[in-house]
Structure 1
């Protein structure tokens, strides 16, 4: 991690009086509405989304154990499963002061796009943990950050989804190192979340202006999914506003491939593939009983079209 000066702190956003807030770029509007302070505690929230709440008879049995695991491992946390209809009202409440973001959210043409966008939006505004409904908590979040890192210096915790060290990796994944977004922990206002919300908003409104919202829907990963999430994280790592970047140096996939222990870049803790993807049987991931296994993902993806399901399913078929 030579590209980052040790201890280089991320910028803390300060609220200030702004006359014409809506005239500012979207990212600046978000920075004003949701200021970031790395020294605060991680909020004790767990956010999930699904078509039904657990109390509904329509809530699928296969999700009951995974969903309950989050409360079992975090008994003092506020744990909310947000339905699509509730999500709309929640977003209107949180983002009424940034109308372009709200317009983008309501304009997205597919449930998967809104589900992706929701996780960034809720974490930007409120912080805490977002977890897909088909994930199971194996260890409490208090164990996710190594004792070698001060929690007051960490604002975002992410895990590696894919590390495909093979020549044909591009046939299976969008990026050589891909960060997962089925589980994310963040403090509110984090710059990565601010930037991805701004980018998705601008992309969506541009598509709306051109009348192309329903075109190229096979590129969900690049619009709201793990590809754009990964790109935004790497852009943050190489942004001189937040880090002291040495001339000619760049943080890329090589800094994370094959890692077995967590790494800290500025205020971001990157967990190895075992932490959020244990038991996948590839790319060096350990099993669910590994000490570094924190969250198990069942890769249901049942709200997604077949073409967008996780590559793990294809790997299982390939290995048969």
Structure 2
């Protein structure tokens, strides 16, 4: 009898161990990133900006905060206009852009099924496809209080640059999901994150686009690990988007002032200006920013090594990083699995052209 009980006890312990292991493996922190713990409260300056905006709206008297003045640094003005509150819900918006509205006869047939997949799988979301002739007016409306941002958008000389910039701008101001028009939703957005994850501790979701573990990777990609920009999920005001909007704005106005903001004359490629190279740098800058993480002297930086060969989601502070399968299933390389994999959420058809 004692032996039988020991056997039962051992079996129970084994089952419990497997359950705990499976649960803990669903969203591990990035391995070996000692000291990278997100500040537990909403970031102090964001809380202050929210409180100040509410105070001013109510008509209370007091000194105008620096971020509200036209001469304040761009990042401070963006922080004031679009404060980040991590504890709020992800807005139920789906943003896409194309040359024409889906109601137009000019809307390409090959995009109708992918576009419809987002509405069909996410019936509770407000799904907007913003046509080219509307994008400028929307950015002017959203960024009327930050005129240099609109000036930068309006000055960009190529449609691909405007398309890149628009996704960062609309997510910073309104939040939600941005996905290119040539993507197909494979699973409802509400199911992308494991149920056990507390959404009030997550403000941003990004996926790996490329993980080229080969000596000549730089001949094909801009970064050893490259983050995807064709599908991004964010709460409004996230610091990664603020940094990216500031980067594009500052570089645009710098080249405009230098008289080189023209096709063939710019000193930055699309990849390094608005595209995946610059985008990946912005994400890593956030991961290694002591303003947002409790980084101790001697702690190692978050680098590509923390994400290579990743197969499930990983959490860095308030950011979830999905593996390459999530937004690039079926590409047949770099470890990406097929579209029927549990971690496959969005399929990029690579059909979009500007």
Shared fold, TM over 0.5: yes
1:250 aligns with 2:298: no
Separation (CA, whole Å) in 2 of partners of 1:257 and 1:225? 21
Separation (CA, whole Å) in 1 of partners of 2:269 and 2:114? 29
Aligned residue in 1 for 2:286: 236
Structure 2, gaps ≥5 residues long: 1-29, 53-63
- Contact 2:204–2:320 (CA<8 Å) still a contact in 1? yes
1:278 aligns with 2:325: no
CA deviations 1:52-102 (Å, max 9, x no partner) are 111110000100000000000110110000011101000110000000101
- Contact 2:255–2:266 (CA<8 Å) still a contact in 1? no
For 1:119, which of 137, 162, 167 is the aligned residue? 167
- Contact 2:36–2:316 (CA<8 Å) still a contact in 1? no
- Contact 1:42–1:128 (CA<8 Å) still a contact in 2? yes
1:63 aligns with 2:114: no
- Contact 1:3–1:250 (CA<8 Å) still a contact in 2? no
- Contact 2:37–2:293 (CA<8 Å) still a contact in 1? no
Moved more, 245-254 or 57-66: 245-254
- Figure out how many residues of one structure are paired with residues of the other and give that number: 303
For 1:107, which of 145, 155, 158 is the aligned residue? 155
Partner-residue secondary structure (3-state), 1:82:
strand
What is the TM-score of this pair, normalised by structure 1?
Answer: 0.92
- Contact 1:4–1:266 (CA<8 Å) still a contact in 2? no
Aligned residue in 1 for 2:271: 221
Separation (CA, whole Å) in 1 of partners of 2:208 and 2:127? 24
Where does 1:159-308 land on structure 2 (aligned, <5 Å)?
A: 159-214=207-262, 215-216=265-266, 219-248=269-298, 249-303=300-354
- CA pair 206-287 structure 1, distance change in 2 beyond 3 A: same
Q: How far off is 1:236 after superposition? A: 0.3
Partner-residue secondary structure (3-state), 1:195:
helix
For 2:65, which of 8, 18, 43 is the aligned residue? 18
- Contact 1:276–1:295 (CA<8 Å) still a contact in 2? yes
Q: How far off is 1:141 after superposition? A: 1.0
Separation (CA, whole Å) in 1 of partners of 2:304 and 2:297? 18
Partner-residue secondary structure (3-state), 1:22:
coil
Aligned residue in 1 for 2:9: none
- Contact 1:3–1:244 (CA<8 Å) still a contact in 2? no
| Bigger radius of gyration | 2
Structure 1, gaps ≥5 residues long: 304-320
- Contact 1:42–1:127 (CA<8 Å) still a contact in 2? yes
CA RMSD of aligned residues (A): 1.3
For 1:85, which of 133, 156, 176 is the aligned residue? 133
Q: How far off is 1:7 after superposition? A: 5.0
Moved more, 29-38 or 139-148: 139-148
The ranges of structure 1 where at least 4 consecutive aligned residues each deviate by more than 3 angstroms after the TM superposition are 3-10
Aligned residue in 2 for 1:98: 146
Aligned residue in 2 for 1:312: none
Separation (CA, whole Å) in 1 of partners of 2:215 and 2:240? 30
Separation (CA, whole Å) in 2 of partners of 1:31 and 1:159? 25
Partner-residue secondary structure (3-state), 1:235:
helix
Separation (CA, whole Å) in 1 of partners of 2:134 and 2:104? 14
Separation (CA, whole Å) in 1 of partners of 2:353 and 2:242? 28
Separation (CA, whole Å) in 1 of partners of 2:301 and 2:65? 35
Partner-residue secondary structure (3-state), 1:49:
strand
